[in-house]
């Protein structure tokens, strides 16, 4: 026999404490007793009170003995006394259940996830009752679903509730997690059991360390034929305009060659179609081109019927191509027309100064050498403004000067490094706090920008009337100015569809790290790492993220399931399958139920035999007293 919940020392300490308290109560019994005496209404006693002798023995020893025996039986029931030999063979197992995206694949109407759950249940059914099990769901991250649990129903419930996720199985991490859990928390480590479909990435397969000796594999074998989309990328063509370039990669994960159509739709209408022929284990890249300025949903779909439909479809939302509307007020518009017609993203309208409006239907105003009757209420570009015109004050009119420095560190001067540009005549401006000097001469800045809303920039010379018209300086300067005034129009959009997990991208050289941000659709910031120009971040569940880096914005639609490209075959030395049985633990029987009943019966018997008598005595039973000397009485005065 042995105690399950308490050690012998703990049991003896509790029993000694309870017994000492019971004996003390019996020894210190001082119940008051009612006595019937004649009414002495008019007399008082003058005798000194009689000294009461303390009892020096237990009045009811048999009652005390029955109570001590009953309480000992109840303490044995609490300690869970068992008949038999203590079980020193029970072990703590870790059950790794593959919940990767690949487990969504189905064969003959049954998914791999259902087969893995069935294998896990079969293994749990042959375990000894005293063994404890921790269930860990494994995909890109190992997530414990239970603690070490002896209750089989709790573990089976967690197995039933396990469903496939979107990332692939990280086998190395799962095995390392199981080893660490057994080393730190298991009383007697048992087996590490892995129920898996065996799909892992080739990189993790190459880096897989030595397998633990206590590993058991519950393989889910199935011949699955699947062709899926690996990644999709969209970007505006370098020429600008409304042309989108679309890159799609598809892979054959099966063991046979497959031919499948790939179709594009935009807004529900066909936008392109190609037929792919893929040998087994081969990835193929295809490209499409599509023209649109409207926003809408672009869908890429493989029109096959394979065992894993989750990677057959991807959807993007294309942003609208909003043009930059520029209103030009000039007496000589032919000089500016070549500068503004070079970009397809700019829509320029030319008007005479007499048609001036302070707030026209435009995003930017260009005022060429005239004084408007009212200040513009939108962003404005002032070319050779007259004295007193515009928000930027003139300092002096310079003759025969040269530009000595461009502010190439700012967006307005990016790419402008030509020095010594001769200007026959130019206006120098007076900068205020916060103004940006774009081009400077000995006499002061001749191009000055004011970033306050609405933004304004003043040019002290006409770029098409100087030597700059023969170089790239003039078109590049105007491109920088329009980009600074309306950065969202010139933002470079890239849209990428891919799988959850680790995402990496290479940023442009010279990017300001403070201008980098990654946010989800709900506005939550995503942490990232940056090494040299390579940016990396991790996403464990399907999401749409926006990466902003300067004038470049990338949208990542990480909704495709991550399907590994390799199949793991465990070594022949690893135990596989569900065993017929495990060694049975030593037998034992619980006695606590009987002990609890006997303890309760003992307390009931004690109350029936002695408890009522004590109650009756203390409730008013006359007590005979020995006669004493006559009490002297005197009349009350």
pLDDT per residue over 476-517, tens digit each?
Answer: 888 999 989 988 887 778 888 888 878 888 887 777 778 888
Q: 587 pLDDT exceeds 70?
A: no
Q: pTM, whole model, 2 decimals?
A: 0.67
Please state the rounded mean pLDDT for residues 189-202: 91
Confidence of residue 146 (pLDDT cuts 50, 70, 90): very high
Q: 175 pLDDT exceeds 90?
A: yes
Please state the rounded mean pLDDT for residues 362-369: 92
Exposed e or buried b per residue across 257-267, where buried means at least 16 C-beta atoms within 10 angstroms of its C-beta: ebebebebbbe
Q: 55 pLDDT exceeds 80?
A: no
Range of lowest pLDDT (7-11, 80-84, 305-309, 474-478): 80-84
Show the DSSP H helices in 193-342 as ranges.
Answer: 202-206, 337-341
Share of the chain above pLDDT 70, in %: 88
Confidence of residue 408 (pLDDT cuts 50, 70, 90): confident
Which residue's structure tokens are 């080739």? 202
Please state the rounded mean pLDDT for residues 572-591: 79
In the DSSP assignment, the letter for residue 434 is: T
Closest CA to 179 of 111, 258, 94: 94
pLDDT at site 635? 47
Q: 405 pLDDT exceeds 80?
A: yes
Question: 60 burial class (0-12, 13-18, 19+ CB within 10 angstroms)?
Answer: middle
Token duo for residue 362: 């435009």
pLDDT at site 623? 45
Closest CA to 2 of 71, 85, 63: 85
Please state the rounded mean pLDDT for residues 208-219: 91
Q: 267 pLDDT exceeds 70?
A: yes
Please state the rounded mean pLDDT for residues 522-543: 87
Question: What's the CA gap between 267 and 287, in Å, rounded?
Answer: 19
pLDDT at site 481? 92
Closest CA to 485 of 436, 547, 427, 417: 436
pLDDT at site 523? 85
Q: Name the β-bridge partners of 496.
A: 233, 556
Residue 258 phi, psi dihedral angles, 5° rounding: -135, 145
Range of lowest pLDDT (74-88, 232-246, 569-583): 74-88
Helix or strand holding residue 581 (H, E): none
pLDDT at site 410? 87
Please state the rounded mean pLDDT for residues 436-441: 92
Instruction: Tell me the pLDDT of the chain averaged across its residues.
Output: 84
Question: 382 burial class (0-12, 13-18, 19+ CB within 10 angstroms)?
Answer: buried
Q: 209 pLDDT exceeds 80?
A: yes
pLDDT in tens, 457-473: 999 998 888 777 767 78
Q: Name the β-bridge partners of 106.
A: 111
Residue 534 phi, psi dihedral angles, 5° rounding: -95, 120
pLDDT at site 46? 54
Q: Of 6 and 438, which is predicted with more confidence? A: 438
Please state the rounded mean pLDDT for residues 89-110: 90
pLDDT at site 618? 54
Share of the chain above pLDDT 90, in %: 34
Q: Of 488 and 33, which is predicted with more confidence? A: 488
Rg (Cα) of the chain, in Å, rounded? 45
Q: 610 pLDDT exceeds 80?
A: no
pLDDT at site 89? 66
Q: 283 pLDDT exceeds 60?
A: yes
pLDDT at site 584? 65
Token duo for residue 613: 């008598």
pLDDT at site 403? 87
């Amino acid at each position: 026999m042995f105690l399950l919940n308490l050690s012998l020392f703990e049991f003896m300490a509790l029993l000694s404490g309870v017994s000492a308290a019971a004996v003390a109560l019996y020894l210190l019994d001082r119940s008051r007793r009612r006595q019937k005496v004649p009414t002495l209404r008019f007399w008082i006693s003058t005798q000194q009170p009689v000294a009461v002798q303390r009892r020096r023995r237990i009045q009811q020893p048999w009652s005390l003995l029955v109570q001590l025996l009953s309480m000992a039986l109840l303490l044995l029931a609490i300690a869970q006394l068992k008949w038999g030999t203590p079980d020193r063979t029970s072990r703590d197992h870790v059950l790794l259940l593959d919940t990767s995206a690949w487990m969504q694949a189905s064969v003959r109407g049954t998914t791999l996830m259902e087969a893995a759950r069935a294998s896990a249940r079969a293994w749990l059914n042959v375990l000894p009752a005293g063994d404890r099990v921790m269930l860990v769901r494994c995909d890109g991250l190992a997530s414990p679903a239970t603690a070490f649990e002896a209750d089989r129903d709790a573990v089976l419930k967690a197995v039933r509730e396990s469903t496939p996720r979107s990332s692939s199985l990280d086998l190395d991490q799962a095995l390392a997690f199981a080893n660490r859990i057994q080393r730190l928390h298991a009383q007697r480590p048992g087996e590490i059991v892995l129920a898996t479909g065996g799909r892992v990435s080739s990189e993790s397969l190459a880096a897989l360390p030595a397998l633990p000796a206590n590993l058991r594999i519950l393989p889910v074998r199935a011949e699955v034929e699947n062709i899926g989309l690996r990644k999709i990328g969209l970007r505006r063509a370098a020429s600008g305009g409304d042309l989108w370039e679309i890159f799609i990669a598809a892979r054959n994960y099966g063991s046979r060659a497959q031919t499948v159509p790939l179709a594009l739709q935009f807004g529900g209408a066909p936008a392109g179609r190609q037929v792919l022929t893929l040998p087994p284990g081969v990835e193929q890249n295809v490209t499409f081109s599509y023209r649109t300025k409207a926003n809408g949903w672009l869908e890429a779909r493989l029109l096959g019927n394979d065992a894993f439909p989750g990677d057959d479809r991807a959807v993007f939302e294309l942003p609208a191509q909003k043009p930059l509307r520029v209103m030009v007020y000039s007496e000589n518009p032919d000089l500016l027309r070549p500068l503004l017609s070079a970009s397809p993203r700019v829509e320029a309208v030319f008007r005479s100064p007499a048609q001036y409006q302070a707030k026209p239907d435009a995003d930017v105003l260009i005022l060429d050498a005239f004084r408007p009757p009212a200040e513009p209420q939108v962003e404005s570009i002032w070319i050779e403004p007259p004295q007193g015109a515009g928000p930027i004050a003139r300092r002096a009119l310079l003759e025969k000067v040269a530009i000595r420095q461009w502010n190439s560190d700012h967006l307005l001067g990016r790419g402008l490094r030509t020095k010594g540009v001769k200007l026959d005549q130019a206006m120098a401006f007076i900068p205020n706090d916060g103004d940006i000097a774009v081009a400077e001469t000995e006499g002061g800045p001749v191009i000055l920008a004011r970033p306050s809303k609405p933004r304004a920039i003043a040019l002290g010379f006409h770029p098409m009337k100087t030597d700059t018209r023969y170089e790239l300086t003039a078109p590049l300067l105007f491109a920088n100015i329009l980009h600074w005034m309306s950065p969202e129009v010139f933002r470079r959009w890239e849209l990428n569809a891919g799988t959850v997990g680790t995402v990496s991208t290479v940023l442009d050289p010279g990017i300001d790290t403070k201008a980098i941000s990654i946010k989800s659709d709900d506005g939550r910031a995503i942490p990232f790492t940056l090494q040299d120009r390579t940016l990396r971040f991790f996403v464990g569940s399907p999401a749409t993220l926006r990466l902003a880096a300067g004038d470049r914005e990338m949208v990542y639609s990480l909704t495709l399931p991550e399907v590994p490209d390799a199949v793991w075959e465990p070594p022949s030395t690893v135990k596989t399958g569900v065993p017929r049985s495990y060694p049975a633990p030593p037998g034992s029987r619980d006695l606590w139920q009987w002990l609890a009943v006997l303890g309760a019966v003992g307390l009931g018997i004690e109350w029936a035999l002695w408890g009522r008598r004590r109650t009756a005595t203390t409730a008013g039973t006359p007590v005979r007293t020995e006669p004493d000397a006559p009490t002297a009485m005197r009349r009350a005065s």
